[in-house]
């Protein structure tokens, strides 16, 4: 709503463009006027919108009017008659004489420049009205990125079925690992008060093809499943529905005990199954198109089937059976590890899940994080991908930057996701990429999906920073097509979010593309992982080694001592490498041959291990940490060159964040090197210094109010 008012306001005063205050609320849907010359050209192909009416077509029509109204400074009228230059929205139910390709996916679309009733028109046809909505957003993005809308012949459809945001939002408004304010969901005042912002949330998601939202944290309270809360969720579902977005809930496995008063939540107990069946039936009377459940079971203290010596498959299938008659699905997470298991944490999920391949019901997907530990700045792909050919596996990425500098560090995550999606599992020979595992093509699965842990809160700019919006956007693009290129996404997003000015585009895109690697360099270079301070995960804590659960200590992951550093995951160590196919594991088997970006993930090597640069490892570590800081300084300088080219409010916000990032990158480098030097006892290479702060002094820095705590 507010966005619409704002746009109308901007149109009125369109003389002022770059100088206009912008606060990031409009995301990549800013619809700023295109240059006059180009605008005239687009206008001839957008004279009127011809369409029928369903709630979703109404949204498509409204978005086109709003978008074109902003971009072309004049909104086309809606009409029932086809005339020259009309944009015709067609569905199988109302095709307006356009031959919709046979077999077009329900969510797919065609955008074609053609002739209808003797008039040159642009048809946006969908396999259903939701396909039309996606097509309408695609059409707008062409103008937003200054592509031609002449001679169009585009056909597209999502490659994955479930394209879902997981909100780790608690019922009290706190967002676990959230760095963008508090929850968008105003549980207290719902369902009576439905924030107008939910419409804008839905539009942004639909514009990138997201079609599902899990509303509550995977560390779930059973309360979400009570009737009052189901009614609140239903109010949100009502807003999201026309945008093609379904609502899902995280289900607490012990709910039959917590809510139903049963003595057990054993999935094989008939009373338990009956309780869930009744609950599912109730949910569907309240939310008729409810998507299903997301479950975190037997992980980090959450209840699960393991409490009754049952497998994950038994637990998942019991829930799946209750949802099945209603068309619901279960996303069952594979993020498990146990303090009582001395096995390398990186191995535990595979050990628990792989043997159950083929046992999951056909409306269950096993949701696997991209790496085997936990959303680190760099991890090799999770060995479960491709290792359960008879199980539907979906990807879980973390959009919120728990481990990459919260919302104050600039880190464009798409290159990281692309790295994982394009990694080759060799499960069925060369070319068995993770993307092919999750899009179902490798093993012939029909139900597919990708989840992203949302970075959205009630901050005015939604994501806590302007650049974090890019990660939300990129997630949608990958969920639509996991083979998309991160550089292409960065360019589209930059054009839509910042400007089409060639200087702006050619400055921002390379900055984004290098940003995640910079974070790796100043936080966890050369295959290191999980050096973040405990609990809040803010800042460095490589010295932490005293916590009860071994795998909660950074020292567990780096294993640095006088002799060397790194986690031996070869045969001489945990042999986590043995969980990959031999071809996938091969490049990582020998330290000398291992891609140095993964060296210390797989190998424990001496400090004087000779690196490809010729330097000993210790020196390389110092150089790489320092490089990370230099890269942030360079980003800061690069950003400064854009002053005056973009609106000052967002310019200043980014500049302020980059200053924080530079300071914290320096802290990361200094603290980690100070600690590692206290262990390695080696001198710094010539030309490098440390500030003289002791490990004890670093250790004393505490952050009781760091945001996003678990
Ligand atoms: O990354 C870790 C987080 C926890 C989170 C957990 C998970 C929701 O530190 O806050 O809990 O992963 O993915 O379940």
**Per-residue pLDDT tens digits for 642-668:** 999 999 999 999 999 999 999 999 999
| DSSP states along 565-586 | ES---STTTT-GGGGS-HHHHG
Mutate to test the pocket of ligand 1, among 167, 250, 253, 335 (most ligand atoms within 8 A of CB): 335
The boundaries of every CATH 3.30.379.10 domain in the chain are: 24-156
Q: What is the pLDDT of residue 548?
A: 85
Identify the band that residue 339 occupies on the pLDDT scale cut at 50, 70 and 90.
Answer: confident
Question: Which atom in ligand 1 lies closest to the alpha carbon of residue 177?
Answer: 10
Ligand 1 geometric centre to CA of 188 (Å): 25
The better pLDDT of the pair 571, 339 is held by 571
Q: Whose CA is nearest to atom 12 of ligand 1?
A: 374
CATH superfamily of 521-567+604-699: Alpha-glucuronidase, C-terminal domain (3.90.1330.10)
What mean pLDDT comes out for the span 77-90?
A: 96
Q: What is the pLDDT of residue 546?
A: 92
Q: Are 501 and 644 in contact (CB under 8 A)?
A: no
Mutate to test the pocket of ligand 1, among 169, 176, 400 (most ligand atoms within 8 A of CB): 176
Q: Which of 266, 352, 402, 418 is catalytic?
A: 402
pLDDT at 5 over 90: no
CATH architecture of the region 24-156? 2-Layer Sandwich (3.30)
Identify the band that residue 15 occupies on the pLDDT scale cut at 50, 70 and 90.
Answer: very low
Residue 120's Cβ-count burial label (10 Å; 0-12, 13-18, 19+) is middle
Alpha-carbon separation of residue 525 from 38, 288, 306, 609, 625 (angstroms): 46, 48, 36, 15, 7
Q: How far is it, in rounded angstroms, from Cα 459 to Cα 452?
A: 19
Q: Phi, psi at residue 653, to the nearest 5°?
A: -65, -45
Q: What is the pLDDT of residue 16?
A: 40
Q: What is the CATH T-level fold of the domain 162-497, as seen in this structure? A: TIM Barrel (3.20.20)
Q: Which of 300, 357, 424, 443 is catalytic?
A: 300
Element containing residue 247 per DSSP (H, E): strand 246-250
C-alpha atoms less than 13 angstroms from C-alpha of 240 in its C-beta half-sphere? 29
| Per-residue exposure over 8-38, b if at least 16 CB sit within 10 Å of its own CB, e if not | eebbeeeeeeeebebebbbbbbbbbbbeeeb
Q: How far is it, in rounded angstroms, from Cα 281 to Cα 287?
A: 10
Q: Whose CA is nearest to atom 4 of ligand 1?
A: 710
pTM (2 d.p.): 0.97
In DSSP terms, which residues pair with 79 in a beta bridge?
50
pLDDT at 14 over 50: no
Identify the band that residue 37 occupies on the pLDDT scale cut at 50, 70 and 90.
Answer: confident
Q: What is the pLDDT of residue 20?
A: 54
**Max alpha carbon distance in the chain (Å)?**
82
Ligand 1 geometric centre to CA of 428 (Å): 32
For residue 149, give the 3-state DSSP assignment: coil
Ligand 1 geometric centre to CA of 349 (Å): 14
Q: Whose CA is nearest to atom 1 of ligand 1?
A: 374
* Residue 492 token pair: 């589209």
The boundaries of every CATH 3.90.1330.10 domain in the chain are: 521-567+604-699
Mean pLDDT over all residues of the chain? 96
Q: How far is it, in rounded angstroms, from Cα 676 to Cα 622?
A: 10
Question: Which atom in ligand 1 lies closest to the alpha carbon of residue 375?
Answer: 1
For residue 145, give the 3-state DSSP assignment: coil
Helix H segments across 309-361? 312-323, 345-353
C-alpha atoms less than 13 angstroms from C-alpha of 380 in its C-beta half-sphere? 27
Determine whether 696 is an active site residue. no
Question: Which atom in ligand 1 lies closest to the alpha carbon of residue 300?
Answer: 14
Ligand 1 geometric centre to CA of 341 (Å): 19
* Residue 278 token pair: 């009744």
pLDDT at 10 over 70: no
- Straight-line distance from the first to the last Cα atom of the chain, in angstroms, rounded to the nearest whole number: 33
Instruction: Encode pLDDT of 618-641 as tens digits.
Output: 999 999 999 999 999 999 999 999
* Residue 366 token pair: 């096993």
Q: How far is it, in rounded angstroms, from Cα 7 to Cα 69?
A: 9
Q: How far is it, in rounded angstroms, from Cα 154 to Cα 380?
A: 35
Q: How far is it, in rounded angstroms, from Cα 25 to Cα 20?
A: 13
Identify the band that residue 604 occupies on the pLDDT scale cut at 50, 70 and 90.
Answer: very high
Q: What is the pLDDT of residue 288?
A: 98
Q: Which of 161, 374, 418, 468 is catalytic?
A: 374
Ligand 1 geometric centre to CA of 153 (Å): 44
Instruction: Encode pLDDT of 249-287 as tens digits.
Output: 999 999 999 999 999 999 999 999 999 999 999 999 999
Determine whether 402 is an active site residue. yes
Question: Which atom in ligand 1 lies closest to the alpha carbon of residue 537?
Answer: 9
Instruction: Encode pLDDT of 165-223 as tens digits.
Output: 999 999 999 999 999 999 999 999 999 999 999 999 999 999 999 999 999 999 999 99
Q: Which residues does ligand 1 sit against, CB inside 6 Å?
A: 168, 176-177, 218-219, 296, 300, 335, 374-375, 402, 710
């Amino acid at each position: 709503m507010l966005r619409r008012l704002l746009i109308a306001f901007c149109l009125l005063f369109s003389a002022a463009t770059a100088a206009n205050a912008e606060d990031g609320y409009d995301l990549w849907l800013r619809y700023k006027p295109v240059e006059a010359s180009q605008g005239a050209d687009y206008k001839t192909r957008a004279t009127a919108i011809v369409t029928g009416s369903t709630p979703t077509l109404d949204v498509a029509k409204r978005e086109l009017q709003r978008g074109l109204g902003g971009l072309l400074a004049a909104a086309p009228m809606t009409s029932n008659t086809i005339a020259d230059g009309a944009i015709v929205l067609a569905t199988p139910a109302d095709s307006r004489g356009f031959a919709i390709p046979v077999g077009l996916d329900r969510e797919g679309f065609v955008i074609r420049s053609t002739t209808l009733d003797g008039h040159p028109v642009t048809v946006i046809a969908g396999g259903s009205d939701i396909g039309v909505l996606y097509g309408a957003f695609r059409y707008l993005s062409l103008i937003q990125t200054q592509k031609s809308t002449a001679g169009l012949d585009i056909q597209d459809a999502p490659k994955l079925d479930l394209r879902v945001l997981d909100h780790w939002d608690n019922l009290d408004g706190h967002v676990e690992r959230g760095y963008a304010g508090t929850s968008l969901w105003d549980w207290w005042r719902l369902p009576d008060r439905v924030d107008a912002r939910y419409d804008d949330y839905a539009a942004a998601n639909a514009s990138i093809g997201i079609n599902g939202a899990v509303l509550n944290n995977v560390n779930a309270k059973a309360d979400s499943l009570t009737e009052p809360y189901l009614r609140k969720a239903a109010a949100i579902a009502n807003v999201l529905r026309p945008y093609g977005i379904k609502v899902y809930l995280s289900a607490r496995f012990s709910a039959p005990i917590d809510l139903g008063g049963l003595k057990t939540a054993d999935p094989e107990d008939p009373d338990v199954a009956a309780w869930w069946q009744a609950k599912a039936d109730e949910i569907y009377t309240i939310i008729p198109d409810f998507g299903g459940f997301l479950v975190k079971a037997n992980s980090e203290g959450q209840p699960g089937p393991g409490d009754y010596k049952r497998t994950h498959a038994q637990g998942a299938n019991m829930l799946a059976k209750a949802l099945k008659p209603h068309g619901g699905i279960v996303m069952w997470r594979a993020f498990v590890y146990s303090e009582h298991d001395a096995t390398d944490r990186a191995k535990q999920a595979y050990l628990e899940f792989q043997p159950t391949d083929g046992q999951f019901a056909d409306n269950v997907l096993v949701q696997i994080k991209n790496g085997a530990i936990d959303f680190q700045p760099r991890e090799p792909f999770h060995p479960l991908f491709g290792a359960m050919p008879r199980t539907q596996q979906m990807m879980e990425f973390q959009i919120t930057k728990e481990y990459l500098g919260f919302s104050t560090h600039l880190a464009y995550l798409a290159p990281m996701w692309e790295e994982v999606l394009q990694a080759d599992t060799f499960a069925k020979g060369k070319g068995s990429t993770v993307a092919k595992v999750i899009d179902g093509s490798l093993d012939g699965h029909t139900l597919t999906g990708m989840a992203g842990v949302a970075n959205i809160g009630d901050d005015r700019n939604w994501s806590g920073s302007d650049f974090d919006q890019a990660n939300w956007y990129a997630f949608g693009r990958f969920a639509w097509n996991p083979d998309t290129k991160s550089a292409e996404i960065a360019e589209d997003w930059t054009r839509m979010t910042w400007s089409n000015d060639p200087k702006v585009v050619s400055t921002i895109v390379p900055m984004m593309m290098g940003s995640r690697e910079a974070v790796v360099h100043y936080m966890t270079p050369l295959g290191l992982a999980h050096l973040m301070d405990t609990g809040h995960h803010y800042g460095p804590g490589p010295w932490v080694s005293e916590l009860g659960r071994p795998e909660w200590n950074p020292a567990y992951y780096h294993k640095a001592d006088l002799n060397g550093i790194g986690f031996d995951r070869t045969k001489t160590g945990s042999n986590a490498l043995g969980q990959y196919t031999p071809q996938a594991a091969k490049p990582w088997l020998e330290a000398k041959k291992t891609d140095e970006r993964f060296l210390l993930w797989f190998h424990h090597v001496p400090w004087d291990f000779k690196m490809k640069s010729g330097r000993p490892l210790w020196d390389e570590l110092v150089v790489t940490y320092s490089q990370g800081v230099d890269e942030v300084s360079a980003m800061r300088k690069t950003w400064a060159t854009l002053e005056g080219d973009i609106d000052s409010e967002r310019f200043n916000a980014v500049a302020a964040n980059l200053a924080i990032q530079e300071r914290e990158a320096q802290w990361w480098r200094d603290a980690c090197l100070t600690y590692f030097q206290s262990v390695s006892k080696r001198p710094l290479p010539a030309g490098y210094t440390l500030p003289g702060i002791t490990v004890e002094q670093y250790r004393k820095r505490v952050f009781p109010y760091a945001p996003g705590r678990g």
